[in-house]
Structure 1
C-alpha cells in the first residue's frame, strides 16, 4: 500500500513538472524575437538586448544564491509541496504580462517581473522536485530516478518547442500562462507531500537561536534576512565537511558556468551569423530536447548500473565541451543541428551530480543539499554574464578585433574542459 502511494506521488510529481516545464519552455524559442522586436526593431544584432539579458541573469543569480539553501532547508521542515506553491505561482505573472501585450512598455514590465520572480523561481522547482524524489527513492535507484525526472523535463521541452514552432507569438504566451496556472492547481490538488511529519527535519532556526539576543531585538522580516545569511553559512560549512561534496560542487560550478555562457551567447550568435528566427530556434531546440529525452529515459537507467554516476558524468562533460567547440566554428547553418545531437550524452551531468550529492547527506537534509547545488549554479549564473555578455557583444559587432563571431562560445567550451579536469580529479579521489 505504501509503495502504491509512493508511486502515485511520483506520478503526480512528474505530471506537475511536465506542465510547469511546458509553460516555461514554450516561450524559449520566441523570447529572442520578442526582445529584439520590442527594443531594436528590424535589427539582427542589438547590444541593449544582450546587456539587459546579462543584467537579468546577474540579479537572478545573486538572489537565487541567497534563496536556494533557504528554500531547501524550509522544505526539509515544512514539506516540498508547501514550498513548491510559491515559485509555481510567481511563474504565472511574467507569462501573463506578455500574453496581454508585447509592446516596448509592456516588455519592460515583463522584464522587471521576470527578473524579480526568477530570484525565487529559477531552479527552485527542480531543486524541490529532486528533493521530493530523494525522499521516496532508495539510494541505489536515485540516479535513474533523477534521470527520469530530467527526462520528463526534456519531454516537456520537446513538446513545448514543437508547439511554439506552429503557434503565433501571441498564442504562445497565452498557452504558457494557462499551463502555468494549470500546473499550480494540479500540484495543490493532487500531489501528496513527501514529508508528513514536520519533526522529521531539524528546525531551520532552533529554539536556542530564537532566544538569542540578536534575534530578540530583530523584527520578523529581519529574522528572515538573518536566516538567509545563516543558510549561506550552513552551505559553506557543509562544503567543508565533505571532500567529495566539495569536489562535486566545483564540477557543478564549472558545468553551470559553461552552460550559462553557451545559453547567453548561442541564440544571438546564430541570429547574427545565420539569421535564425523563432522557427529555426525551435527546430534546434527540438533536436536537443528529443536527444536528451531519449538519453535520460532510455539510456541512463541502463548505463548508471554499468558505469556508475562518476564515469557517466565524465562522458557527459566531454560531449558538452565538444558541442561548444563545434558550434563556435560553424561554417554553415546546418552545423548547429549536427552539434545538437551531442545532447544524447551531454545531458548526463546534472542528473549524475544531483545523485552523487544526495548520497552525501542524511535523509532529512536532502532539500538543503539540493538547494546548495542550486545556489552554486546560481553563483555561476552571476559570473557568466559578466564575462560572456561583453564578449558576445564585442565579437558580434563591427568593433571585433578579429573575425570570430563564436569566440565567446569557444571560451565557454574551455570552461567545460576545466570542469572535465575537475571531474577527473574527483574520480581519482573516489577510486583510490
Structure 2
C-alpha cells in the first residue's frame, strides 16, 4: 500500500513541478521539463509492456518529433544536426511552416502527439497534452491568442514524423511468417515460468536511421554448442551455474538494477501477475535525461542528445535482434535444467528471445559511446532511473563504467553466457562509434 501511495504521489507532483519550472522560464530548467514530459511516454510503454526493440522505436519517433519541431523553428536549433536537414526533408517533406514564439512548447506537444499514435495505450497521453496546454498558457510560455498556432505547428510536425514511421517496416511485421523454434540441441526454446513466444523475430527487417548495412555490425562468432568437458561452451555454461550459486549482495543488486525486463511474471497460486519494469532503452533514456540536467543543457541541446541516443538505441536493437534470430542460441536456464540441475533458476527471469548477443550489452555500449562523445569521458553521474521502480540510486564515474556494469549484470542474473556479453559489448561499441563519427561529419 505504501508503494502504491508513493507512485500516485509521483504522478501528482510531476505536473506541478513542470508548472513551477515553466513559470521560472530559466534556460537550464528546460532539460528537466523535457525529461519529465518524455517520462509520460515511458509510463505508457510500461503499461503496454512494450518489448525492448519496440520501446526503442517509440523513443526514436517521439524524440524525433521534438527535434524536428525545433529544426523547423529557426537557425538556433539547426546548429546540431542528427540527420541532415535535406535528408529529413526528403523523407518528411518540407512543411515551410510559420514559426512560433515558443518552439519548446510546440516540440513537447509534437512529442506527445506522436506518442499517442505509436502506442496501443497512447490515448492516455491526451490528458498529458491538455495539461501541457494549460501549463503553457498559465505560465505565459504561450498565450490564448497564439495557442492554436502552436498546436497546428506541432500537429504538422507530428503528422510528418508519423508518415515517416509508417514506412519503416513495422506495419509489415505481422504479415511475415510466424516464428517456430528450431529443433535440435543448442537452439532457443521458450523458458519458464511463462514460456512466452519469441519476441519480434523479424525485427532485423526494420529500417535503420544510421546503419546503412546492418550486416557490417554482426557480432563475432559465438561458441558452438558443445557439452564436452573443456569446450568453450561447457566452460561458459559452468561459469553461469557456479556464479549464480555464489553471488554477493552487490552482484545481486547490480543484476536487479539493470534487469529492465518488461516481461517479468510472478505467480501467486494459479494467478500470473505481470511486474511492470522499464525497458533497457528506457534506462538509457533516463540516464540521458539525468546527464542533460546535470549539465544544465538548453532545450535545443536536450532534445538533440535525447534524439541521438534514441535513434542509436533503435539501430542497436535492429543489429542485436538480427544476431539473436540468426543464431537462435539456447538460454543458460534451458541447458542447466536439462543437463545439470532440473530445478535451477537464474536470479533474473529469462526474457523471451534467443540468447546471442546480449541486448543490454549491445545497446548499453552503443549508448555509452554516443553519450561519451557528447558529454566527455569523465562525466560522473548518479543514476536514479530505477528509483521509480523501487530500486536505489547508483553512482558511476562514466558512461563506460555504467555500460560495462549493465553488461556483466547479465552474467550475475544467470541469463547470458560470457561471449554473448563480451561480443555484445564489442558489437555495441562499433555501432556507437560509427554513429558518432557520422554525426561529426554532419557538423563539420
Task: Give the TM-score normalised by structure 1.
Answer: 0.33
Bigger relative contact order, structure 1 or 2 (CA pairs below 8 A, ≥6 apart): 1
Q: Which one has a larger percent helix, Structure 1 or Structure 2?
A: 1
